Structure 1
Amino acid sequence: MLRTRVITAILLVTGLLLTVFLASKQVWAIVTLGISLLAVMEWAHLIKLNRTQSFTVVVMTALIGVCVLSLQYTVLAPYQTYTELALLSISTLFWLVIAPVWLGQRKACQHRFMMAILGILLISATWIALVGLHEINPWLLIGVIATVSLADSAAYFAGKRFGRHKLAPTISPGKTWEGVLGALAAVTIYGGLLCYCQQFSLWLVPALWLVVVFSIMGDLVESLMKRQAGLKDSGQLLPGHGGILDRIDGFIPTLPMILLSISLLHFSGFNVHG
């Protein structure tokens, strides 16, 4: 299993780097929209939608993507920014307010329509963040992805080696507080190296801690949905990793939050483009 997981990870990283740095902005947007639609299909599977309902959810998500991409070429271009900020804000509000309560109560949401709309909004916001961060600077996007991926890997190995105290046993029995500490330690070293080599402010390190916290929250929310659906993985598309949602659950909260923060700083007069 570990060998398969590593091979898949290497292929994913290679494909990611090639696409991020070689593809045009338009190609990147289309590729990531396609991946987002696969994630929406898995979301629909988790909440037990039938085939017609799943198709409808995917089409709605695709329409959001097409509309966002098309607005920039029309007289309605200014509304593209407002639409993106609205989706990013909704996503951020969910992860700041609703997700912690949901995880605390561990209640199953039986309202499929509401869960379907939630999936459309959260995954659409993640896609917008992928496109937006790439447009600002591909290295910024890679840095964020590296942070979440490093935290996930460190938590996995630290939990396997030192895990004793369960983080959320009724949601995800494999996750431990030792794994969380391992993730924070790895990201602290990563952030410290970035600060030293790139002369970034040391405030980057606590910012990365927040990224770790919300990436874990995203992981737990997906784990709760899988447990309530009676599934081990969201899909079987990625050998050793499960489905698309299993691979991007940590990015769904973090990427929109980061782009929204950068956008707000930009509108406040800060130069975020270097």
Structure 2
Amino acid sequence: MLKTRVITAVVLLLILLPVIFAGTPAQFAWLAAIIVTAAGWEWARLMGMGGVGAGFYGAVSLATVALTWRSGLALSHVWLKPAALFWVLAGPYALMRRPATKGVWRALLLCAGPVVLVAAWQALCLAREHGIAFLLSVLVIVWIADTGAYFAGRTFGRRKLAPSISPGKSWEGAIGGWLLVMAAAAGVLFSGLSAPTIVSHLRDTVGLSAGILLLTLLVAFSVVGDLFESQLKRQAGVKDSSHLLPGHGGVLDRIDALLPVLPLALVFI
């Protein structure tokens, strides 16, 4: 399993890194569109759609990306605010009430899926326009929070964060992830890095105190995104969203925490 996981990670990096650092914005946008399409297929499967239905749902996500691109709205904010609103309202509701994936709630999730996924694509395109350092700074918030939460949870974890959804997550882990993000943000600000990052942008536009608050919200919603997908998988009775990435599960398993963070980060700036 570890060997498979490492091989998959290396292959993904060999694809992603050249496109991020050497590719054109259009090439990056279409790579992100492929990721969104795969995630749309997985989203539909978690909603109980199989075969042709899930494939059609993924195609709808891709078509929405294509129409947004062709209409010249790729670098607008057309999908960001609806997606941000979904996460602010539906994310906490889902975790507190844990509604079953059926009826009105299932219909809402099926309607919201393309909006949420295409908004993540659009946020990636916009972040790329702000510069590679800015794009990476948004992604790294999630990766650092997840890493900090893992190690703090293993070392200090006592109180479960959401035992019925993800028994391995703890409040201590979440706090550890937040602290590591704050430490990394301080390091960026004191490093004198000239390239714009989300940390420097928030400091310059809303001030240090408000910037810390908004970074805290991003960390919090990275946890919401992770738990949200975990709940969908639990209700669907599956361990992974798919097996598209050998050793890693599915695409949604890798981007679940990014789905709320990307649109919210771009709305914040």
Give TM-score scaled by structure 2 length: 0.87
Pick one of 224, 228, 239 that aligns with 1:232.
Answer: 239
1:23 maps to amino acid: G
Summarize the alignment of residues 110-259 of structure 1 with structure 2, pairs less than 5 Å apart. Answer: 110-111=102-103, 112-198=106-192, 200=200, 201=203, 202-203=208-209, 204-259=211-266
Provide the C-alpha distance between the structure 2 equivalents of 1:11 and 1:160, rounded to a whole number of angstroms.
Answer: 29
Provide the C-alpha distance between the structure 1 equivalents of 2:243 and 2:170, rounded to a whole number of angstroms.
Answer: 25
For the Cα contact (< 8 Å) 1:42–1:234, is it kept in 2?
Answer: yes
Q: Does 1:61 align with 2:61?
A: yes
Q: Does 1:94 align with 2:86?
A: yes
- Name the counterpart of 1:71: 71
| 1:13 to partner: Cα distance | 4.7
| 1:235 to partner: Cα distance | 1.6
| 1:165 to partner: Cα distance | 1.1
For the Cα contact (< 8 Å) 1:8–1:239, is it kept in 2?
Answer: yes
Aligned residues: 254
| 1:29 to partner: Cα distance | 0.8
For the Cα contact (< 8 Å) 2:156–2:172, is it kept in 1?
Answer: yes
CA deviation digits over 1:176-210, x for unaligned, max 9? 11110110121111011011113743444433222
* Stretches of structure 2 lacking an aligned partner (at least 5 in a row): 194-199
DSSP 3-state at the match of 1:191: helix
1:150 maps to amino acid: I
Provide the C-alpha distance between the structure 2 equivalents of 1:117 and 1:55, rounded to a whole number of angstroms.
Answer: 15
Give TM-score scaled by structure 1 length: 0.85
* Stretches of structure 1 lacking an aligned partner (at least 5 in a row): 73-79, 263-274
For the Cα contact (< 8 Å) 1:192–1:205, is it kept in 2?
Answer: no
2:179 maps to amino acid: A
| 1:166 to partner: Cα distance | 0.5
* CA RMSD, 1 decimal: 2.1
Provide the C-alpha distance between the structure 1 equivalents of 2:14 and 2:143, rounded to a whole number of angstroms.
Answer: 14
| 1:157 to partner: Cα distance | 2.0
Pick one of 91, 100, 110 that aligns with 1:108.
Answer: 100
Summarize the alignment of residues 17-96 of structure 1 with structure 2, pairs less than 5 Å apart. Answer: 17-72=17-72, 80=73, 84-96=76-88
| 1:6 to partner: Cα distance | 5.8
Provide the C-alpha distance between the structure 2 equivalents of 1:14 and 1:177, rounded to a whole number of angstroms.
Answer: 35
| 1:148 to partner: Cα distance | 0.5
For the Cα contact (< 8 Å) 1:84–1:125, is it kept in 2?
Answer: no
Quick one: structure 1 residues 258 and 108, their matched pair in 2 at CA, closer, same or farther if it must change by over 3 Å?
A: same
Provide the C-alpha distance between the structure 1 equivalents of 2:155 and 2:178, rounded to a whole number of angstroms.
Answer: 16
Identical-pair percentage: 38
| 1:173 to partner: Cα distance | 0.7
Provide the C-alpha distance between the structure 1 equivalents of 2:149 and 2:14, rounded to a whole number of angstroms.
Answer: 22
